[in-house]
């Protein structure tokens, strides 16, 4: 099953142009020397991180990119025109690997980051370059070198400040709809979200942060179960995790505490930096219970988990507690700027 956060591309740099065999022929200069110019350099292929792109979906259709070849040289020592480079825009957070060698070529983590993925071929020498004391009239020129060709794997690791974490149907999509302009699909069945959604949460003019709605995790996610390991990777670049717990699960056999422990275990299995990341507990769907009952159940969950971190009661459906949540998250992010944090190693 393909997800829009991955793509494969074939890139082909341009070939170098052929060198020229030419001799100077002017009035009163009947035996001028060689003046063949070099061929032009082939165009190269670059990937560049740009604003305004959140997925790699476009590259599920357009997968082949070819730069122009360099033009041949000409007489009068004229070098051929170089082939035009091409720059392929990708979302910020794209990791590029060579499919053949499995080598990671680069990580475009900031707007404007640019990576050369296929070098254009050099142009062939014109016959002027072959002139020597023993060969004053060379009649040979070089062929242009071929441009690089590569098969690339692109993987998008979202750059978000806040990641929503929880089981399928915990209410993550509803919450991000309540606090941002993002409109992910919401329905009353598990795995409604099949790919990450980003939402910009505006707290006040000039104060905002990016929240990522990650598809729900299940036990075994670190080994790829469910939607699995692909989406755990997106959480590595967040600064804070909001762990949503459904306070009133429809299944009477469900145990929110057991489920919360299972999610915490998956984080630890996948990467130590995820398990140690700042994580708040959000007791969600409090609108389904009477206020007194919601508070009682929340206290019981916190006690059984032996939770020492921050706890907040919210309802994505009604918006209860969401304004307080936005303010608290914004204050935390301002007190812990990204520049002060260590960038996690890529998995």
pLDDT score recorded for residue 179: 87
Average pLDDT over the chain, rounded to an integer:
81
pLDDT tens digit sequence for 182-235: 654 443 433 344 456 777 788 888 788 888 877 655 444 333 433 444 556 667
In terms of domains, do 183 and 111 share one? no
329 shares a domain with 279:
yes
Last residue in a domain, options 156, 181, 201? 156
Q: Which residue range(s) make up the domain with 101?
A: 6-156
Evaluate whether residue 285 is within a structural domain. yes
Pairing mode of beta strands 162-165, 104-108: unpaired
1 falls within a domain: no
Residues 88 and 121 in one domain: yes
Specify the pLDDT at position 299.
94
Q: Which of 122, 137, 156 is the last residue of a domain?
A: 156
0.75 cut: is pTM over it?
Answer: no
Q: What does the pLDDT average to over 167-187? A: 72
Give the best-scoring range by mean pLDDT among 64-68, 202-206, 287-291: 64-68
- Per-residue pLDDT, averaged over 13-42, amounts to 89
Identify whether residues 311 and 212 lie together within a single domain: yes
Of 111, 126, 156, the one marking the end of a domain is 156
Judge whether 345 lies within some domain. Answer: no
State whether 180 and 140 are in the same domain: no
For residues 216 and 169, the answer to whether their CB atoms sit within 8 Å is yes
137 domain residue, yes or no: yes
Residue 346 included in any domain: no
């Amino acid at each position: 099953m393909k997800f829009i956060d991955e793509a494969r591309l074939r890139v082909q740099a341009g070939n170098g142009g052929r060198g020229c065999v030419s001799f100077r022929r002017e009035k009163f200069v009947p035996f001028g020397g060689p003046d063949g110019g070099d061929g032009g350099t082939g165009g190269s292929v670059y990937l560049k991180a740009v604003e305004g792109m959140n997925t790699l979906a476009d590259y599920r259709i357009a997968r082949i990119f070819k730069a122009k070849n360099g033009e041949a040289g000409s007489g009068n020592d004229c070098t051929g025109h170089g082939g035009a480079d091409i720059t392929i825009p990708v979302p910020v957070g794209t990791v590029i690997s060579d499919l053949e060698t499995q080598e990671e070529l680069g990580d475009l983590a900031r707007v404007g980051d640019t990576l050369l993925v296929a070098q254009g071929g050099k142009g062939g020498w014109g016959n002027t370059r072959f002139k020597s004391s023993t060969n004053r009239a060379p009649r040979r020129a070089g062929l242009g070198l071929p441009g690089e060709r590569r098969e690339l794997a692109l993987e998008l690791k979202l750059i978000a400040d806040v990641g929503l974490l929880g089981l399928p149907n915990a209410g993550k999509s509803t919450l991000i709809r309540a606090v941002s302009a993002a409109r992910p699909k919401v329905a009353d069945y598990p795995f409604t979200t099949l790919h990450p959604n980003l939402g910009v949460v505006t707290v006040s003019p000039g104060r905002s942060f990016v929240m990522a709605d990650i598809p729900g995790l299940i036990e075994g996610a670190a080994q790829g179960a469910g939607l699995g390991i692909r989406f755990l990777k997106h959480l590595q670049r967040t600064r804070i995790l909001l762990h949503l717990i459904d306070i009133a699960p429809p299944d009477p056999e469900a145990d929110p505490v057991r489920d919360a422990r299972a999610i915490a275990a998956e984080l630890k299995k996948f990467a130590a930096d995820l398990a140690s990341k700042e994580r708040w507990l959000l007791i969600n769907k409090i609108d389904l219970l009477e206020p007194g009952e919601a508070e009682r159940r929340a206290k019981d969950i916190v006690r059984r988990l032996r939770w020492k971190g921050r706890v907040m009661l919210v309802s994505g459906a009604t918006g209860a507690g969401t304004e307080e949540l936005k303010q608290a998250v914004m204050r935390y992010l301002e007190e812990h700027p990204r520049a002060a944090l260590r960038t996690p190693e890529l998995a």
